[in-house]
Structure 1
């Protein structure tokens, strides 16, 4: 009778050397932050000599998918139909079956809804269960349901986690509060692909992009990038602008991102509708514009004059790091704490989370800077991003952590 455990010989190639096979889980294979970090780490694992298989949920119907990128770099991709079904006890069984077929040496859970099934599957196979904790935790539903989800998640994570890789000290604090021992946690900030930010924009492209975004030559063009979701705080940004006619007249805020599509949860659809209605009621149609999904965000950032990020919670914001790499002066909330090596007022302007007044003050500070001062702040932010937040170097560190766990 099978015990469900992998035969150790499955981990060895013909020559007798151990060949580690890392299995990652990704419920929603879109192109948002967690998926992009998983891709960057998968590349690093491949560079380190591991084989990698991605077990993923259904392709998103309302957004581009990242599965082709994984396949292109040499990752085996396997769809798992039950990953779309929350709290299905068969989900862990399915993951364990696919992971065993791959000869998994460990299982890495990426999305919050992946993690408990991934850990259970790892325990069934007798291999390490590793978590990429990319974000602060939120549990949705009526209060009793959300409390139950949180309790089950916390107990499972505390009992089954071999290593939790957390994107900030704020995130690690949550993981420790869930009961994971300190020595099973490590902080590793998110990283970005720096290559798109190295070359200068071609002649004329900056003005063409600004024209596409509807930029007013008499206003400062400020981008905000992120899916339209309560987490990202776009409603707080709109509130900040609605109560500040001086900002509304001098800024052109373009929100890049989508959300609220037919496959999105009802709460997301309602949020997007209410966000558009807030802009209309406040008379901010000339100040706030929605650009939808764009796949040329690095170029858009380099064509803008600044960046604002009003998120309520984050793990470690990729959008903020990308804006810095593009040389933008950035106003962003302190929801995930201060980034490593960051100097407020030099590399950007950090404001209190969830406070429209603090966000207004930060935007006024940006407006008070002359063009040369904004350029200096953007240049300092760019050095910070290029020195400390490249995904290749951070991915190599992640691969080292995984390799050490396997040994």
Structure 2
């Protein structure tokens, strides 16, 4: 038998063996805490494992750091986890450790989330190559203070085999950044339905005056607008309370605003929590007045929880919530939109219930974790995972 025929025979046997073995995927992320991307990965990775994928998580941080929480939780759920800390500028030593870890895992596909992971894996491919799928969770406009980071992410995403946008808005942004359309697809985020026992009652057993916002306390989330709206409603004689779930650099400033506006009895800061489920289950209204968003997990969680929603008409939010059907969409630039929308929901019980019920149905149809998982499995297969 010629060398060429022997090589073809070996290649055939390798492909047959690959088809009979579980798909091997390494998911990479550098986390700063349990926020939207992390909650999405907490849903996706166990679901992939349940589908027979041999999935491993590579955390680009130390296990004991705040960002290590995601890796620690995944490890508790039976997902193999490796921690390889990298700094803002990826040095040669951590790069070598990352490449060694990837070689040991021998993935057929590397799946990256976030610009830091995209940059790190893009550099690692200079030494060791595997097909890469990158999920981009936000538009570049949300990172105007990180132009160098966005440039690096764009440069490497142009070279990756597949790029996934979490919304139409993110997809348009990626096309404008030069990502080839034939390598670009949209997969909407999904979560595990943890709300089934509490969502069926919708709002009937909840405090109709309770509003909740969830997220990192940064300017783009516009939580100051939520506080000002509640203060305006209170001055008009409306009964309402605001629960702010999350932490961040603007907390002292927001706490001062609450005192200045005289609404300390109506506004409460819960701080950062690992699980927002109880807060959403108790709230009647969920507000997201953000200046920009990708496909926010907190919004999807609010839909699953059966909250009546007020959200900005920005980024991927209109892909998720249909105005006057699943929630009320507002223009963040129009100061009066948010208090007017909140007032509509506070005074109109039938509207609250109708929007909440529709949001819950839409979640089950479009944003439950199994739908997202199936789409990612299709993407891995389309990349030729069995051929790696």
- TM-score bracket for this pair, using the shorter chain length: 0.7 to 0.9
For 2:170, the equivalent position in structure 1 comes to: 171
* Structure 2, gaps ≥5 residues long: 1-9
Provide the residue aligned with 1:32 in structure 2.
35
In 2 relative to 1, CA 170–200 (structure 1 residues): closer, same or farther, beyond 3 Å? closer
1:79 matched residue in structure 2: 83
> TM-score, normalising length from structure 1?
0.81
**1:360 equivalenced with 2:359 (yes/no):** no
Residue 76 of structure 1 deviates from its aligned partner by: 1.2
What is residue 3 of structure 1 aligned with on the other side? none
Structure 1 pair 377–250 and aligned structure 2 pair: CA distance change class (3 A): same
- Residue in 1 aligned with 2:263? 284
Distance, in Å, in 1 between the alignment partners of 2:382 and 2:345 is 45
5+ residue gaps, structure 1:
1-7, 211-216, 260-268
CA distance, structure 2, for counterparts of residue 44 and residue 362 of structure 1: 37
Q: Distance in 1 between matches of 2:237 and 2:314?
A: 25
Partner of 2:379: 401
Deviations 1:172-215 (CA, angstroms, capped at 9, x unpaired): 11211221101111111111211x21114899xx98xx8xxxxx
C-alpha distance 296-78 of structure 1, shift in aligned 2 (>3 A): closer
Structure 1 139/201 Cα, relative in aligned 2: closer, same or farther at 3 Å? closer
In the alignment, what sits opposite 1:332?
311
CA deviation after TM superposition for structure 1 residue 317, in Å: 1.5
With the length of structure 2 as denominator, give the TM-score of the two structures.
Answer: 0.85
C-alpha displacement of 1:300: 2.5
- Secondary structure, aligned partner of 1:81: coil
* 2:362 corresponds to: 384
2:246: which partner in 1? 257
Write the distance in 1 (CA, Å) between the matches of 2:350 and 2:99: 57
CA distance in 2, matches of 1:78, 1:381: 37
CA displacement at 1:104 relative to structure 2: 2.2
Q: How many residues align?
A: 369
**Equivalent residue number for residue 88 of structure 1:** 90
CA contact (8 A) 1:119 1:130 kept: no
Cα distance, 1:308 vs. partner?
A: 0.8
Partner-residue secondary structure (3-state), 1:191? coil
- 1:118 corresponds to which residue? 121
Deviations 1:115-145, CA, capped at 9 Å, x for gaps: 111223245322112111122234465xxxx
Q: 1:54 to 1:337 in 2, by over 3 A?
A: closer
Bigger mean CA deviation after superposition, 324-333 or 61-70: 61-70
TM-superposed deviation, 1:342: 4.2
- Kept in 1: contact 2:31–2:70 (CA 8 A): no
CA distance in 2, matches of 1:72, 1:189: 26
Q: Shift of residue 332 of structure 1?
A: 0.8
Q: Which residue of 1 aligns with 2:327?
A: 348
